[in-house]
């Protein structure tokens, strides 16, 4: 996944850097909050039930968006798109880990470690001497 951001206009929360649409941001926040409530870890079945509730439109939540403040809202999000556009990118970026043996999803700090690693890679590139580029006329 590619993350594009403007360092002069960084959003208030990390979800807006990672996800493209408001709907994705809302669903990702809900997923993380639900996992936090369960000590940062949920089983495969719980994840599937979360995705199914979203798909069927039976998930009711309070959203911290200004227009929904203090209101309970029914949320709907396609199950396949949830896995493709939210859960899979979160796994590949290191925000969520999946333990294949325990069949558990858990929140992870690998995303932070990856961002630090990318920053260090850039510092190395800055310090590297220039390479002669041969241009044929």
Q: Is residue 137 scored above 80 in pLDDT?
A: no
This prediction's pTM? 0.88
User: 38 pLDDT band (50/70/90 cuts)?
Assistant: very high
pLDDT at res. 134: 83
The topology (CATH level 3) of 10-127 is Arc Repressor Mutant, subunit A (1.10.10)
Every domain of the chain and the residues it spans: 10-127
Q: Which residue has the tokens 């599937």?
A: 48
The Cβ-side half-sphere exposure at 27, using a 13 Å CA radius, reads 28
Q: Is residue 65 scored above 80 in pLDDT?
A: no
Is the separation of the CB atoms in 26 and 63 below 8 Å? yes
User: 66 pLDDT band (50/70/90 cuts)?
Assistant: confident
Q: Please tell me the least confidently modeled range out of 52-56, 102-106, 131-135.
A: 131-135
> By C-alpha distance, which of 100, 98, 107, 99 is closest to 28?
107
Q: Between the CA atoms of 39, 41, 46 and 52, what dihedral angle is there, to the nearest 10 degrees? A: 100
């Amino acid at each position: 996944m590619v993350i594009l951001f403007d360092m002069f206009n960084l959003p208030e929360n990390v979800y807006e850097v990672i996800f493209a649409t408001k709907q994705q941001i809302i669903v990702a926040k809900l997923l993380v909050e639900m996992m936090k409530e369960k000590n940062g870890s949920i089983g495969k079945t719980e994840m599937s039930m979360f995705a199914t509730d979203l798909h069927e439109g039976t998930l009711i939540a309070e959203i911290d968006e200004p227009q929904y403040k203090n209101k309970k809202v029914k949320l709907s999000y396609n199950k396949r798109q949830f896995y493709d556009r939210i859960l899979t990118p979160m796994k590949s970026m290191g925000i969520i880990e999946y333990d294949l043996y325990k069949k558990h999803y858990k929140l992870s700090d690998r995303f932070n470690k990856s961002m630090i690693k990318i920053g260090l890679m850039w510092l190395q590139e800055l310090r590297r001497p220039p390479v002669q580029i041969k241009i044929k006329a």
